[in-house]
């Protein structure tokens, strides 16, 4: 099946609270740009543990292949989901709260041996990378994503060259 024929979510994005949405929307934006079907929801490892388990099972049953989980503070969401599924789980430590996401980083990255969570950087940059990483995993199965990933890298590289050229425009010499 090609990606365009795919009518069910390949990626599930979940976050612990609506206060995480501003950051986690970066992951959703990447998936939209790459035209990867995804589902996004809110569920908490602590406040709604049953809902979290039910959603984890539902995403896999619907054909989901990657889960992105973002949470802040004592962020156990990605780890709890990883405990309940064999799907790859990408964790995003969300900043917010008094420790600015360092608490969430440690909680997400320090998983016990046997239950991995692929942990991204703190905050919106990590959420964006989570989206790209999910696309890279899916590109192993959907070759059309490979070309889009190459185009994405080329665009980024061109952007760096443009920034460097602008240094000359404001008077810096390049010998």
Q: Is 20 in the site for ligand RP5 (CB under 6 A)?
A: yes
Q: Is 106 in the site for ligand RP5 (CB under 6 A)?
A: no
Give the number of other CB atoms < 10 A from CB of residue 5: 6
Residues 6+ apart with CB under 8 A from 76: 45, 46, 107
Q: Is 17 in the site for ligand RP5 (CB under 6 A)?
A: yes
Residues 6+ apart with CB under 8 A from 44: 16, 17, 51, 52, 71, 77
Q: How far is the CB of 114 from ligand RP5 (least distance, A)?
A: 24
Question: According to CB under 6 A, which residues from 76 to 95 bind ligand RP5?
Answer: 94
CB 35, CB 131: distance < 8 Å: no
In DSSP terms, 15 is beta-bridged to 42, 70
Question: According to CB under 6 A, which residues from 110 to 169 bind ligand RP5?
Answer: none
Q: Which of 59, 67, 71, 132 binds ligand RP5 (CB under 6 A)?
A: 71
- Return the closest-CA partner of residue 80 out of 101, 103, 58, 51: 51
Q: How far is the CB of 83 from ligand RP5 (least distance, A)?
A: 17
Q: How far is the CB of 54 from ligand RP5 (least distance, A)?
A: 18
Q: Which residue is nearest to ligand RP5 (CB)?
A: 16
Distances in Å between the Cα of 15 and the Cα atoms of 22, 41, 111 are: 11, 7, 18
Using the rule CB under 6 A, give the single segment among 27-35, 68-76, 83-91, 121-129 that binds ligand RP5. 68-76
Binding residues vs ligand RP5 (CB under 6 A)? 16-17, 19-20, 44, 71-73, 94, 96
């Amino acid at each position: 099946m090609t990606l365009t024929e795919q009518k069910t979510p390949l990626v599930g994005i979940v976050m612990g609270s609506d206060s995480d949405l501003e950051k986690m929307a970066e992951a959703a934006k990447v998936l939209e740009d790459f035209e990867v079907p995804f589902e996004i929801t809110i569920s908490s490892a602590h406040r709604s543990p049953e809902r979290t388990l039910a959603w984890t099972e539902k995403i896999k049953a619907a054909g989901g292949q990657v889960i992105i989980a973002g949470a802040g503070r004592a962020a156990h969401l990605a780890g709890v989901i990883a405990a309940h599924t064999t799907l790859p789980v990408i964790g995003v430590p969300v900043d917010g709260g008094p420790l600015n996401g360092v608490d969430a980083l440690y909680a997400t990255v320090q998983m016990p041996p046997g239950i991995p969570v692929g942990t991204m950087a703190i905050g919106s940059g990590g959420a964006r990378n989570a989206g790209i990483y999910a696309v890279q995993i899916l590109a192993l199965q959907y070759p059309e994503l490979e070309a889009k990933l190459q185009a994405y890298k080329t665009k980024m590289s061109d952007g760096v060259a443009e920034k460097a050229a602008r240094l000359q425009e404001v008077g810096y010499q390049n010998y």
